[in-house]
Amino acid sequence: MTDCLDSWAVLRWLEGVEPAASRVEGSLLDRPIMSWINLGEVAYVIERLAGAERSRSVVRELRRVLTMEVPSPGRTLEAARLKANHAMAYADAFALATAIAHGATLLTGDPELCDRGMGWPVEDLRAG
C-alpha cells in the first residue's frame, strides 16, 4: 500500500522527532504521495522559521523523493466535503482526500485526523 504524507509528518521528519522521523524516512524509499496544498504548508512553516532560501531548498529536496499531486477539481470538492462534515483544517482535508483517492495510508500525528476513530486510512506517528 502507498503512503501519503501530510505537513505534520514532513515537519516532524525534518526536525528528527521520533517515532515519526524514522517512519517517514522509511516511507520515502517508496516515493509516497503528497498534495501540493500540504507541501505549501511545509514551505510556509519553514520560511517563517528558517527563511525563504531554506524553504526553497526543502521543497526542491522533497520534490525529488515524493510523488506530488496537483489537486483536481474533484479532489478539491472532496476536501471541501470532508471539511464541511468534520472539524479539521482545510489543508488536512486535502491530505485525507488525497490518501483516500489513492488507497493510501495517511502518515500524520495531527490530532484532528488521528483522534477521531472515523475509520480513515491514518497511521498515527505520535507514538511507537
Cell 515519526, located at residue: 20
Highest CATH level, class, for 3-124: alpha beta
pLDDT of residue 112: 86
pLDDT at 114: 85
Express each pLDDT in 31-82 by its tens digit.
999 999 999 999 999 999 999 999 999 999 999 999 999 999 999 999 999 9
Tell me how far apart the alpha carbons of residues 78 and 98 are, in angstroms, rounded to a whole number. Answer: 9
Question: Is residue 119 predicted with pLDDT exceeding 80?
Answer: no
pLDDT at 17: 95
- Is the pLDDT confidence value at 127 over 90? no
Interhelix angle 7-15/36-50, rounded to 10 degrees, is 40
Cα–Cα dist 74/70, whole Å: 11
> What pLDDT was estimated at residue 64?
97
